[in-house]
């Protein structure tokens, strides 16, 4: 091969594409049922948007962004996350003037120059939701339940919610000062990366996988919450209990982006070991101001599609997910292709999914492909024993086969009982 895909990317096709589409359609329908409308933002944005909102000292901004200069010298970045672009769109399009709560969901590719590993790619995909406009803990509870619902919708077993509060601009400065002092006294125990983080943004130490023993000895932010943050956190916990949502308090959970305030949470799969995080989110009440707009409270979450697909339960039978083909047309002789294509058009117009095999391969291989596609019917045309204008219609579930005219074929298929009826 002269060309191969870039490291950290993947080609999606075949059965994996079918599972991907199945999941994405199901989750989009679920989010719409919950009152969230889809939003699509550009794949690239101004670099400053991410530098100001995600945090200049975060690994995303310092190490992982795909940044380039356009022909007019403007610095642009492929989006590493989508919350800041959604907030930018919300403000730029004047949606904040309408008042109330704006609910959005999105699905699409993100880009981070990170070390590829299981479930983590340099081009990856997220599905997420944002609720903008309410300061109260009730909308936080809705978002947590909404995130859990993604996985319920796809048949996941009960998952675990890890919950924390990361404070606000009123109480976080005092905590940062205490934390910086504690980190300075343990500087020799920190990894090389955290030695720099401790000075620039001490909260980022909690993101490190290598400094676990140190993190356990540090002061916790929950001990420094102001009255408003403590009340918000207490009410949220009570609401989740009323909703019968099980959660675990995790005072070391801070998330990896600087814009989070108050609520932070993750959803984890307890059976997946060390890399068990599936989804995360939280509140970001200062993000609108960072984007140049008024102060607007907001909360949201995002989930990685690759991780979701890798862990999504398969059908109980273990069978391959069918591609959804109703009719597979076997063309044994190219002279019959025109009539078969016309039939396929009529069937599609009537609502059937139809594949026409124009490969020219043997009749046996084409019929095998019909079964591999999970088709209900095979329409067989062009065999020497068939009269012109006729085809063999085979029910692949029962094995019954009859010879009919092309005109009759569509009617026979339409009249047949549907699967599962």
Fold (CATH) for 14-171+225-311: BirA Bifunctional Protein; domain 2 (3.30.930)
Q: State the chain's mean pLDDT as an integer.
A: 89
Angstrom distance (rounded) from CA 364 to CA 387: 20
CATH architecture of 327-414: 3-Layer(aba) Sandwich (3.40)
φ, ψ for residue 157 (rounded to 5)? Answer: -70, 170
Burial class for 16, CB neighbours closer than 10 Å (0-12, 13-18, 19+): middle
Q: Is the pLDDT of residue 79 over 50?
A: yes
In this structure, what token pair is assigned to residue 356? 């026409």
Mean pLDDT of 311-334: 71
Q: What is the pLDDT of residue 321?
A: 41
| Helical residues (DSSP H) of 77-136, grouped into ranges | 83-92
Domain definitions of the chain by residue range? 14-171+225-311, 327-414
Percent of the chain with pLDDT over 90: 66
Q: Is the pLDDT of residue 263 over 90?
A: yes
3-state secondary structure of 203: helix
- 155: which residues sit within 8 A by CB, 6+ positions away? 312, 313
Q: Is the pLDDT of residue 318 over 70?
A: no
Of 43-52, 153-162, 169-178, 317-326, where does mean pLDDT reach its minimum?
317-326
Tell which wins on pLDDT, 198 or 20: 20
Angstrom distance (rounded) from CA 407 to CA 401: 17
- Per-residue pLDDT tens for 100-140? 899 999 999 999 998 887 667 999 999 999 999 999 999 99
């Amino acid at each position: 091969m002269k060309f191969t895909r870039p490291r950290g990317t993947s080609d999606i096709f075949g059965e994996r594409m079918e599972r991907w589409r199945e999941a994405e359609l199901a989750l989009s329908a679920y989010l719409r049922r919950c009152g969230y409308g889809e939003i699509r933002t550009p794949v690239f944005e101004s670099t400053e948007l991410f530098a100001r909102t995600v945090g200049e000292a975060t690994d995303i901004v310092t190490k992982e962004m795909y940044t380039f200069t356009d022909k007019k010298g403007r610095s642009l970045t492929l989006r590493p996350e989508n919350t800041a672009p959604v907030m930018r769109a919300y403000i730029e399009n004047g949606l904040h003037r309408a008042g109330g709560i704006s609910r959005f969901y999105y699905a699409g590719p993100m880009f981070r120059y990170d070390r590829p590993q299981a479930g983590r790619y340099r081009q990856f995909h997220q599905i997420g939701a944002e609720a903008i406009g309410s300061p109260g803990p009730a909308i936080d509870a809705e978002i947590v339940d909404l995130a859990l619902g993604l996985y319920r919708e796809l048949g996941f077993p009960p998952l675990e919610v890890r919950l924390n509060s990361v404070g606000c601009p009123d109480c976080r400065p005092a905590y940062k000062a205490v934390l910086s002092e504690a980190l300075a006294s343990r500087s020799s125990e920190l990894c090389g990366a955290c030695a720099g983080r401790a000075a620039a943004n001490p909260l980022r130490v909690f993101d490190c996988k290598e400094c676990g023993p140190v993190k356990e000895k540090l002061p916790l932010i929950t001990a420094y919450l102001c009255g408003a943050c403590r009340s918000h956190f207490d009410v949220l916990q009570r609401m989740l209990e009323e909703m019968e949502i099980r959660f675990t308090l995790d005072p070391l959970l801070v998330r990896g982006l600087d814009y989070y305030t108050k609520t932070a949470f993750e959803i984890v799969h307890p059976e997946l070991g060390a890399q068990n995080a599936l989804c995360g989110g939280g509140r970001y009440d200062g993000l609108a101001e960072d984007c140049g707009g008024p102060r607007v409270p907001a909360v949201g979450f995002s989930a990685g599609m690759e991780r979701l697909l890798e862990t999504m339960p398969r059908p109980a039978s273990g069978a391959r997910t069918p591609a959804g083909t109703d009719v597979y047309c076997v063309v044994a002789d190219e002279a019959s292709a025109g009539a078969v294509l016309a039939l396929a058009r009529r069937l599609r117009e009537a609502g059937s999914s139809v594949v026409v095999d124009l490969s020219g391969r043997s009749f046996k291989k084409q019929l095998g492909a019909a079964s591999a596609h999970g088709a209900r019917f095979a329409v067989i045309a062009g065999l020497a024993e068939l009269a012109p204008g006729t085809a063999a219609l085979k029910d692949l579930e029962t094995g019954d086969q009859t010879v009919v005219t092309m005109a009759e074929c569509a009617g026979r298929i339409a009249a047949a009982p549907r699967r599962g009826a």
